[in-house]
Chain A
Amino acid sequence: MIRFFLGKLLYLVPTFIGITMVAFGFVRVLPGDPVLLMAGERGISPERHAELSAQLGFDKPIWSQYLDFLGRLMHGDFGLSLVTKKPVITEFLTLFPATAELGLVAITIAALIGVPVGVIAAVKRGSWFDQVSMTTALIGFSMPIFWWGLLLIILFSSILQWTPVSGRISLMFFFKPVTGFMLIDSLLSGQKGAFTSALSHLILPALVLATIPLAVIARQTRSAMLEVMGEDYVRTARAKGMSSTRVIGVHALRNAMIPVITTIGLQVGTLMAGAILTETIFSWPGIGKWMIDSISRRDYPVVQSGLLLIAAMVMLVNLLVDLTYGLINPRIRHQ
């Protein structure tokens, strides 16, 4: 198991180095002089320009600049935002819990609904439930979620007035973040109505973000179940006279879950891409909105390091998924 783990980890190293090259190269291939870019619209004197270039290392050869960049990363220095002048890593860590909370709630909704729906659809293959749920899943899979979010806002926020339009919690409530997760913090604060407010802010964005993963999980669960139910050991279990609940619940489901768990884990990338759109629509103060804002404000240090941090996070989660896969499926480990 340790060899399996180390092997997977080693495999990631070249990919990560590649990503640092992309992030480093990204700022270099931008049209324009980076020093002028930093100076902004006020302009800069030639002497100050030379001084800044030397200070920032732009006069050195490109490979040496890249090594400096890597060195700074190793020390946890991800640069400063051009707009707020705060360290990028500080901003990332402040905003990350908002995206994590949204993503976790979304993937939980997706798994809790998607897996049972997929199992029932497979067991009752060809029934009306199968047809309706799989058609719905395909619609969900084809959904432009930025439009879906707007529709839900029209219905629930405008017509029914059940949920607020944007933000994480009503402005009436204020407390110090403990975990950064608004649902937990609002409970810890002990303020009346805070939790309900946080929940009502969270529910629509979470539903929107859950849509595509939910569809993918339901479809994947169904096909995994169908595949497993045709296997010899399931037929044997049936032939032994086991109840069909036991055959489905114990023999089929446990084996079908292996690819499904992988699918759930691999939705992290989808969630991050979806978070950019969802957070923009609902003004959710997370990483997705931060990235799109930084791109449109041309805050390149943020885009550069944000790209790096998000890619590292996605790779880490994928590594964890791989490891879980190895844990529950010994065949993979020994390949």
Chain B
Amino acid sequence: MSETAVKLSDAAIRRRMLADFWFYFSQNRGAVLGLFVFLFIVFIAVFAPLIAPHSPIEQYRDALLVPPVWQEGGKAGFLLGTDPVGRDILSRLIYGAQYSLFIGIVVVSISLVGGVLVGLLAGFFGGWVDSVIMRVMDVILAVPSLLLALVLVAILGPGLTNAMISIAIVYQPHFARLARAAVMGELRRDYVSAARVAGAGDLRLMFRTILPNCLAPLIVQATLSFSSAVLDSAALGFLNMGAQPPTPEWGTMLAEAREFILRAWWVVTFPGLAILISVLAINLMGDGLRDALDPKLKRS
């Protein structure tokens, strides 16, 4: 009887926290706008095969460099025009959303899991474990991120998978540092000592007792890393080191379009705009998350 009562109140607390979170998040109009744009991009990515008017890689040889429909010479079949080999830009952008979201999810997952793991180890055990782990992280942080990612891709070979792995490695220290700092702050708290006295093992202490209380900064960092991952993978694609043609990845599309900038503005403008809008939406969300999750800022 008493157990169900406890469970109910647990759920109630969770609902209350969620409501609280939404209250602070929705105070920030930009964040809500960002969320809606992001959901829209997710929708487009999921239903790309249904929405896209053409295949992203089909080349219409009779429609090379067709301008957007509102400009002279535009064709109704190609709303945003076609690229130098006659592929429909709108369809490529729609399929490109899949790549950007996929890259963001993979990069954040790898760097989050890896970073939190080593950060927890470093913060929890301290001593030489901490020293070794954090010096390795310092080495990664000492090299400008894009340069290190480029060098890693040079070792692994150009391509989307290797680009994602490289970017994840470069981002990992940020998560490790955050997790470590949070763990070191929490370790001295009474509830951790209580759990230890109650006989909780190291693993349980790390993952069940401490980790849930360090989540807020990690969530904010994950959002920021998501947008950086979209940006950096596009940059790698632009430098011919990321996704390879004919993949409709936005950065790769820009790389292919570069030589046509003076003749056909649309092949350059739209992919970049797609990158900017999605990165901006995620950053807006990140700002809102930070405001809603950071108790220090809440009451100010």
Which residues of A approach B to under 8 Å, CB–CB? Answer: 14-15, 18-19, 22, 26, 29-30, 135, 138-139, 141-144, 146-148, 150-151, 153-154, 158, 230, 269-270, 272-273, 276-277, 280, 291-292, 295-296, 298, 303, 307, 310-311, 314-315
Residues on A with beta carbons closer than 8 Å to the beta carbon of B268: 147, 150-151, 154
Given A144-B231, A272-B147, decide whether A15 and B258 contact each other with a Cβ distance below 8 A: no
In the docked arrangement, what's the CA distance between A311 and B145, Å? 11
Check B254–A19 contact: CB distance below 8 A: no
**How many A-B pairs fall under 8 Å by CB?**
117
Given A15-B139, A22-B139, decide whether A147 and B272 contact each other with a Cβ distance below 8 A: yes
CB of B178 within 8 Å of the partner chain: no
Closest B residue to A23 by beta carbon equals B151
Please classify the interface of chain A as helix (H, G, I), strand (E, B), loop, or mixed, using the class held by over half of its residues: helix
Residue in contact with A277 in the complex, picked from B138, B154, B239, CB distance below 8 Å: B239
Check A269–B144 contact: CB distance below 8 A: yes
In the docked arrangement, what's the CA distance between A173 and B77, Å? 50
Residues on A with beta carbons closer than 8 Å to the beta carbon of B209: none
Check A153–B239 contact: CB distance below 8 A: no
Chain A nearest Cβ from B215, distance in angstroms: 23
Residues on A with beta carbons closer than 8 Å to the beta carbon of B229: none
The 27 sampled A-B contact pairs (Cβ below 8 Å) are: A14-B138, A15-B138, A15-B139, A30-B155, A135-B30, A139-B280, A142-B227, A142-B276, A142-B279, A144-B231, A144-B275, A144-B276, A146-B234, A146-B235, A146-B254, A147-B272, A147-B275, A150-B272, A154-B268, A273-B145, A276-B146, A277-B238, A277-B239, A291-B147, A307-B143, A310-B144, A314-B144
Check B280–A29 contact: CB distance below 8 A: no
Given A144-B272, A144-B276, decide whether A315 and B142 contact each other with a Cβ distance below 8 A: yes
Check B275–A154 contact: CB distance below 8 A: no
Check A292–B239 contact: CB distance below 8 A: yes
Check B276–A19 contact: CB distance below 8 A: no
Chain B nearest Cβ from A163, distance in angstroms: 14
Check B143–A142 contact: CB distance below 8 A: no
Residues on B with beta carbons closer than 8 Å to the beta carbon of A296: 240
CB of B261 within 8 Å of the partner chain: yes
Check B240–A26 contact: CB distance below 8 A: no
In the docked arrangement, what's the CA distance between A295 and B262, Å? 28
Chain B nearest Cβ from A72, distance in angstroms: 20
Residues on A with beta carbons closer than 8 Å to the beta carbon of B139: 15, 18-19, 22
Residues on A with beta carbons closer than 8 Å to the beta carbon of B162: none
CB of B284 within 8 Å of the partner chain: yes
Residue-by-residue, is B125-147 near A (CB-CB < 8 Å gives 1, otherwise 0)? 00000000001101100111111
Check B262–A158 contact: CB distance below 8 A: yes
Closest B residue to A270 by beta carbon equals B144
Residues on B with beta carbons closer than 8 Å to the beta carbon of A19: 139, 142-143
CB of B300 within 8 Å of the partner chain: yes
CB of B271 within 8 Å of the partner chain: yes
Residues on A with beta carbons closer than 8 Å to the beta carbon of B150: 276, 291-292, 295
Check A29–B261 contact: CB distance below 8 A: no
- List of 9 A-B pairs having minimum Cβ-Cβ separation, nearest first: A147-B272, A18-B139, A273-B146, A272-B144, A142-B279, A142-B280, A273-B144, A15-B138, A144-B275
CB of B23 within 8 Å of the partner chain: no
Closest B residue to A288 by beta carbon equals B147
Given A18-B136, A150-B258, decide whether A138 and B287 contact each other with a Cβ distance below 8 A: yes
Check B145–A147 contact: CB distance below 8 A: no
